[in-house]
Structure 1
Amino acid sequence: MGGCVSISSRSNCNSRSNGESVSSSCLWMDMIRQKRRRTFSDHVTTLQHLSSVPNRILANGRSHSSCIFTQQGRKGINQDAMIVWEGFFAEDVTFCGVFDGHGPHGHLVARKVRDTLPLKLSTFLNSSESKRNASSANCCRNVKFDVVDPAKNASAEEKVESMWSQAFLKSYKAMDKELRSHPNLDCFCSGSTAVTIVKQGSNLFMGYIGDSRAILGSKDNNDRMVAIQLTVDLKPDLPREAERIKRCKGRVFALQDEPEVQRVWLPFDDAPGLAMARAFGDFCLKEYGVISIPEFSHRILTDRDKFVVLASDGVWDVLSNEEVVEIVASAPTRSLAARIVVESAAREWKSKYPTSKMDDCAVVCLFLDGKMDSESDYEEQGFSSVLQSNHSCHAVESDDGQNVEPYLQRNFTVRSAEDSNHYNRVPIDMEDGQNTGNDEQDWSGLEGVTRVNSLVQLPRFSEEKPRP
């Protein structure tokens, strides 16, 4: 979806209200004016004091423009993590993310990524901004034409997309590198998905790996709410993903008792059976085609776009995109939207698949007009706010130190009868981060087809010959 870029005057970069469209060519100027360049010590200091950062919520609750909720499934410790960080770069910039861990230490990986990835994205964006400082300042300060050259305008938008694409690529790469070298966190057989978005004005930037998903609730020409899928479920059954894994000597096949769930296996052993093609961690498979390189996309929002929903696959296993949009749009209060989605998913698990263990569910609902319910309406629902400090989040984090492993046995395959939506994605090349062609643009993420466990078993690394 395209959009217009306006660079008519310097005042356009400054005189905008919250929620108003922002010029793409001036995006980095806002950040430069409001944030100095970070040093390594700044990064460390921020990491140590994350719990006191305002407008950053991690636990069930609400913010000025969003609500989040998670519920533990029946497999053990809740391995889902989520975040909404308002004022991420500037007053009108919001970062949202959902992270679904798997493996014995998946809950720790997911929370580590939740806490660290936004800081890495911030670091790389600031680095890009600093390099463009002079040219960008001239762009926003000196151009005072009422008529903008479309060719130059498009070029400016392309530069912005390239900057954000590179920032997502580098931050994801740095995150995975940090996990590999982490002294106290074993990520050899554990990992996490990630679906992350940054909203600034009318711009929505997205980076994601794994099978957590983001959708958009929007109104069509008949003023009816429709669901638009923003991300792809990056599973091994995608032809492009399967081809890469096989080139790297990894194997992709489904087990007999779950024929719809393609998994990634070591070349020399029938393990671990990872049900996704990209993830943080999972270093036992990183030499065999599983990567942490994100897909990236940029969307220009319009007045028809109402909200974005990010969720882990525990939700998408039992609810279609359309059902989630309908639930959010019809919620009695916006503050309860995420909670109602999770509760609806829990009921569907019990009703449709009573013999399967319900997966963890995590939901972030971001309302694009920046409006939420009044505090009195919110409290009437008995749902406490955690907007200010994040002291209430510590209770949720108390299980970090526990050595609790999730269940790893297999159950039944869950399949939805709903047809999948079409969506746009921009693949990033594994080497230089540039976009690579338009092949498979319409490939479906197989909405509703799931794994009951991300990992079938831990690697044995035996000397047995692989299954033919």
Structure 2
Amino acid sequence: MGSCISTVSFTSGSSSSGGGGGGGERRSSSCFPLRSHRNKRTKASFSKQIINLEQLPQIPNQIFTNGKSRTSCIYTQQGRKGINQDAMVVWEEFVSEDAIFCGVFDGHGPHGHLVARKVREALPLKLLSFLQSQESTGNDAGSNCFNRKVKTGSGDSLASVKDSPSEDPYLSLWSDAFVKSYKAMDKELRSHSTVDCFCSGSTAVTLVKQGLNLFMGYIGDSRAVLGSRDSSDSIVAVQLTVDLKPDLPREAERIKRCKGRVFALQDEPEVQRVWLPFDDAPGLAMARAFGDFCLKDYGVISVPEFSHRLLTERDHFVVLASDGVWDVLSNEEVVEIVFMAPTRSSAARVVVESAVREWKLKYPTSKMDDCAVVCLYLDGKMDSESEPEELSISAATNHSYHSQVNESDDGQNPAESSYLQRNFTVRSAEDSNLVSGTAIEIVEGGEGGSEDHNWLGLEGVTRVNSLVQLPRFSQERANT
């Protein structure tokens, strides 16, 4: 258990952090690979589409640094904890001309920035690979090139889609692709030896928009929110994902069944954390993550929740963001900021700047978290509209299709209302109570932490997802 567990890429080449460039193949607008071409042609076409990470900056229609595309804008800003551990990507024409992949990844721990970047680079390719392999097998679900419209109702679960022969297996196909790609991603992180992610990891919130379908997979507490209009024509915020943290009863129950412990420290009672069964470490503030292999035997998993939503003409944009945004801005505030942004291409930047101001106002003694935002406009336009009129902003309940793909005995509705609005993992200095004798080593950003650094509740707010860098304890202690 004390061995070095690290990240991996597809090849020995490493990718740069530049934006998307030219080159690469243009994929068919209908489907790929076609069932009628299964054989050597399929294999040749498939091998060309699995792009090695060394060529990532040359993938057409992809951006992963501050900027805009034809349909989206993205922006990130470093906090005050060291290196920026957030990463993001938008990939247009992902599986077809009308498909867009978006993702936000929030690293944590001493090497979290490296984990987040590796996931950003490799996860979309893995999802693409599994979608292509589903198509190339020639099953009925994949025969229409992933372009069919899902007709499940808002209350359907994945189990009902799988178990009922009358239901279209289309959703199961997409769910399997997300689950398999996340599993393969975590497996590669575990097996490589470049970066230690024994107690470092990353969240992920990813979606594919294809036609009127939104397919989403996510772990951790990064979040996706939809800006839509209600029956009174007001812009409302619809939360599309759930913050998968230890304060969710179903997540805590799984962790406890695996002998992990869930509790909050006395000076931050609002933050439930995951701890080893035999040591008060590492204090992870999420229930699912890539990496964090010190806790993978104790209930922390990388299996994503899968969601589907069928879009309507009332739906206008989707915002994906890391918890540095959601800690200080509500869903409604973010939707209003995007809707009222002076230009569409500046919306992500305006959200980040608003979050930065809120950090300074609400938590002046804090170390501000990194912020990353992706704004995807569902009509496929960028800065072609007139200035938006002022509309009222109100809350809305998410009625989209949700499924917890790894647990069928859960029985819980993922959209528990008490967990939708704020992450509640920021502690104010005034509300913190000093715990006598408590000294916790803190890991900030990618810089690591000093071994003699003591963290105390009254010293201000420090937003970290993992409180302690886990010591390399002996295997004998782990077995006791």
Q: TM-score scaled by structure 1?
A: 0.76
Tell me, what secondary structure is at the counterpart of 2:79? coil
> What is the aligned partner in structure 1 of residue 9 from structure 2?
none
Counterpart of 2:52 in structure 1 is: 46
Name the counterpart of 1:69: 75
Match of 2:182 among 172, 184, 197: 172
Task: Name 1:458's counterpart in structure 2.
Answer: 469
* Amino acid in the other structure paired with 2:403: V
Q: 1:312 aligns with which of 322, 325, 332?
A: 322
Give the corresponding residue for 2:406: 429
Alpha-carbon distance change, 155 to 86 in structure 1, aligned in 2, over 3 angstroms: farther
Distance 1:49 1:124, change over 3 A: same
Query: Cα gap change, 1:303/1:421 in structure 2, threshold over 3 Å: closer, same or farther?
Result: closer
* Aligned residue number for residue 123 of structure 2: 117
Equivalent of 1:330, from 328, 333, 340? 340
The equivalent residue for 1:244 is 254
| Equivalent residue for 2:217, pick from 204, 207, 213 | 207
Alignment partners' CA distance in 2, 1:135 and 1:124: 14
Contact 1:427–1:436, Cα closer than 8 Å, also in 2 = no
Question: Deviation at 1:209?
Answer: 0.1
Matched, 1:341 2:351: yes
Measured after TM superposition, the shift of residue 75 of structure 1 is 0.5
Question: Equivalent residue for 2:437?
Answer: none
Query: How far apart in 1 are the matches of 2:70 and 2:145?
Result: 32
Return closer, same or farther for 1:137/1:123 CA change in 2, 3 Å cut-off: closer
1:30 aligns to what SS in structure 2?
Answer: coil
**Structure 1 residue 459, shift from structure 2 partner:** 1.4
Residues 337-395 of structure 1, C-alpha deviation per residue, up to 9 Å, x if partnerless? 000000000000000110111100000000000000269x9xxxxxxxxxxxxxxxxxx
**Larger fraction in helix:** 1
1:233–1:38 distance in 2 versus 1, CA, 3 Å: farther
Any stretches of 5+ residues in structure 2 without a counterpart? 1-27, 147-160, 388-393, 427-462
Please show how residues 429-448 of structure 1 align to structure 2 within 5 Å. 429=406, 438-444=411-417, 445-448=419-422
Native 8 Å contact 1:29 1:137 kept in 2: no
CA distance in 1, matches of 2:98, 2:239: 24
Distance 2:409 2:32 in 1: 29
Shift of 1:420: 9.3
Identify if the C-alpha distance between structure 1 residues 266 and 139 changes in structure 2 by more than 3 Å, giving closer, same or farther: closer
Which segment drifts farther, 83-92 or 43-52?
43-52
CA shift at 1:446, angstroms? 4.8
C-alpha separation between the residues in 2 aligned to 1:465 and 1:136?
49
Question: Would you say the 8 A contact 1:229–1:423 is kept in 2?
Answer: no
Any conservation in 2 of the 1:420–1:446 contact (CA below 8 Å)?
A: no
- Measured after TM superposition, the shift of residue 93 of structure 1 is 0.6
3-state SS of paired residue (1:284): helix
Partner of 1:372: 382
Which residue number in structure 1 is paired with residue 61 of structure 2? Answer: 55
Partner of 2:416, secondary structure, is coil
Evaluate the alpha carbon distance shift between residue 135 and residue 54 of structure 1 in structure 2; reply closer, same or farther with a 3 A threshold. Answer: closer
Residues 216 and 306, structure 2, Cα contact 8 Å, conserved in 1: yes
Shift of 1:47: 2.4
The alignment status of 1:299 with 2:309, answered yes or no, reads yes
| Other-structure match for 2:101 | 95
Counterpart-to-counterpart distance in 2, 1:316 and 1:420: 17
- Alignment deviations for residues 148-202 of structure 1 (CA, whole Å, 9 cap, x no partner): xxxx9x9686311000000000000000000001121211010000000000010
Closer, same or farther: CA 47–41 of 1 in aligned 2, 3 Å:
farther
- State the alpha-carbon separation in 2 of the partners of residues 136 and 169 from structure 1: 17
- Distance in 2 of aligned mates of 1:462 and 1:113: 28
Q: Does 1:363 align with 2:336?
A: no
Q: Is the 8 A contact 1:231 1:423 kept in 2?
A: no
SS of the residue corresponding to residue 218 of structure 1 reads strand
- What SS does structure 1 have at the residue aligned with 2:403? coil
Letter paired with 1:232: V
The Cα of 1:48 is off from its aligned counterpart by 2.4
Question: For the residues of structure 1 that align with 2:141 and 2:82, how far apart are their CA atoms?
Answer: 53
What is the identity, as a one-letter code, of the residue corresponding to 1:239?
P
Give the aligned partner of residue 275 of structure 1.
Answer: 285
Query: Post-superposition shift, 1:134?
Result: 6.6
Identity of aligned residues (%): 67
The match for 2:229 among 213, 219, 226 is 219
Aligned AA (2:425)? T
1:59 maps to amino acid: T
Q: In structure 1, give the amino acid aligned to 2:54.
A: Q
Distance apart, 1:136 and its partner CA: 5.8
Could you tell me which residue of structure 1 aligns to residue 156 of structure 2?
Answer: none
Distance 1:332 1:157, change over 3 A: farther
1:349 counterpart SS class = helix
Q: Which moved more, 1:282-291 or 1:436-445?
A: 436-445
Task: Select which of 95, 99, 111 maps to 1:105.
Answer: 111
Separation in structure 1 between the aligned mates of residue 145 and residue 379 of structure 2, nearest angstrom: 28
2:138 to 132, 136, 155: 132
Deviates more, 1:34-43 or 1:339-348: 34-43
The answer for the alignment partner of 2:31 in structure 1 is: 30
Per the TM alignment, residue 90 of structure 1 is displaced from its structure 2 partner at its CA by 1.2
Report the Cα offset of residue 243 of structure 1.
0.4
CA distance in 2, matches of 1:137, 1:337: 38
| Structure 2 counterpart of 1:443, one-letter code | E
CA distance in 1, matches of 2:141, 2:81: 53
Q: Is the 8 A contact 2:236 2:395 kept in 1?
A: no
- How many pairs are equivalent? 383
Q: Is the 8 A contact 2:223 2:320 kept in 1?
A: yes
Distance in 1 (alpha carbons) for counterparts of 2:228 and 2:396? 17
Q: Cα distance 1:461–1:82, how it changes in 2: closer, same or farther (>3 A)?
A: same
Contact 2:321 2:371 in 1 (8 A): yes
Deviation at 1:32, TM superposition (A): 3.5
